[in-house]
Amino acid sequence: MRDIPGPKGRRKTLSDVAARAGVSPVTVSRALRRPEMVSADLRRRVETAVHELAYVPNQLASALASARTGTIGVLVSSLTNGVFADYLRALHDALLPAGFQLLLLNSRYLPEEEERAIATLLSQHSEAIIVAGVDQTESSRRLLKRAGVPVVQTMELSDSPIDVNVGFSQLEAGMAATRHLLALGSRRIGHIAARLDARSRRRMEGYGRAMAAAGLDGRGMLATTTRPSSVRLGAELFSDLLARVPDLDAVFCCNDDLALGMLFECHRRGIRVPEDISIIGFNDLEFCASTFPSLTSVATPRHEMGRRAAEIVLEIIRGSGDRPRDRRIDLGFIISQRQSTPPLRVGISAEAPEFASPRRSS
């Protein structure tokens, strides 16, 4: 009698497949793992039994036998933040064709959640861990250092990588965005930021350093909150800042969502951009080129970070096991100049590093 699958039925085993195909469990295992070692007829019988029973191999059991799971653990700070879309697409594009699946977890920007997520990924015998950020707790760092698998930290640069680090300097990018506005002649430059995670705090520090280097005090021109970032919040923070500093002539927004909210609020108030006030965002998400006026933003190499991280992991796992000569790979960033800031005058530069920086080499 044919099996009728249902939600209450037990999970089918290798022995079930063997019984259905009329062969031994060893033959089924061989047909699934090394199909070239069995005849075409045996392969068809096993494949038919697998299909009819909806059999799914037990990867953890296979891992205990072979020390291979075919999975890469990936940990990001958010599953809704558009910043991670290009990054995750690059990881999938590189790892899936190579025969690996991604185990994706979300830390929600919380250090304790990141610790639990790392422990979960390691408990699933991931063959490598790729993590967004470099600010892991001591407990998380200890777990990753002792994991015995390749670990790649991304989205930021660290002076003491756990294993391999691929990213760019959030601090320098914040400084470059502020210098860009200074080079345009702006002096009443505000900064708005949300969530205040480690990376946004470094951008804010970069703003403060650039202002101080220009002999300006930006401490009174900040509008920040620990609330999650959103377009609406960008409008609110800008309104709060404008109420305190009505003669603002430019604002560096910690991300593009906030910059878009600020742009909408400027439209509502009849404030001309960039004639009355300049706006620069951060990350250069796709919509920045389509707003009116289009938004100037710091373009970050999110796709490239994902691609390089995946390539490094594959080289370590499938190659000699050696790490890149340079464990800290700086991919740089660029300023995407658009209509929300006036064009720079000839001969003036904001001195922003570029993606093509020699530091990219590994």
Helix axes 256-269, 231-244, angle to 10 degrees: 60
Look at 36 and 187; give whichever has higher pLDDT: 187
Residues 284-305 have a mean pLDDT of 98
**Is the distance from CB of 196 to CB of 226 less than 8 angstroms?**
yes
CA gap 165, 95 in Å, rounded: 18
Q: Is the pLDDT of residue 237 over 60?
A: yes
Q: Which tens digits make up the pLDDT trace of 174-185?
A: 999 999 999 999
Q: What is the pLDDT of residue 62?
A: 56
Q: Which tens digits make up the pLDDT trace of 124-172?
A: 999 999 999 999 999 999 999 999 999 999 999 999 999 999 999 999 9
Q: Is the pLDDT of residue 331 over 60?
A: yes
Residues 182-201 have a mean pLDDT of 97
Q: Is the pLDDT of residue 361 over 80?
A: no
Q: What is the pLDDT of residue 12?
A: 81
Lowest-pLDDT range of 59-63, 247-251, 314-318? 59-63
Residue 175: count of CB within 10 angstroms of its CB: 24
Q: What percent of the chain has pLDDT over 90?
A: 77
Q: What is the pLDDT of residue 346?
A: 54
Q: Is the pLDDT of residue 113 over 60?
A: yes
Q: Could you tell me the domains of the chain? A: 14-57 (1.10.260), 69-168+303-330 (3.40.50.2300), 170-299+334-357 (3.40.50.2300)
SS3 of 126-170: the string is CCCEEEECCCCCHHHHHHHHCCCCCEEEECCCCCCCCCEEEECCH
CA gap 274, 291 in Å, rounded: 13
Residues 209-238 have a mean pLDDT of 97
Q: What is the pLDDT of residue 33?
A: 77
Q: Which tens digits make up the pLDDT trace of 48-87?
A: 998 888 877 765 555 545 557 899 999 999 999 999 999 9
Whole-model pTM: value is 0.81
CA gap 292, 340 in Å, rounded: 8
Average pLDDT, whole number, for the chain?
90
The contacts of residue 289 (CB under 8 Å, 6+ apart) are 295, 336, 338
At which residue do the structure tokens 């697409």 appear?
89
At which residue do the structure tokens 């209509």 appear?
339
pLDDT band of 37, cuts 50, 70, 90:
confident
Q: What is the pLDDT of residue 110?
A: 96
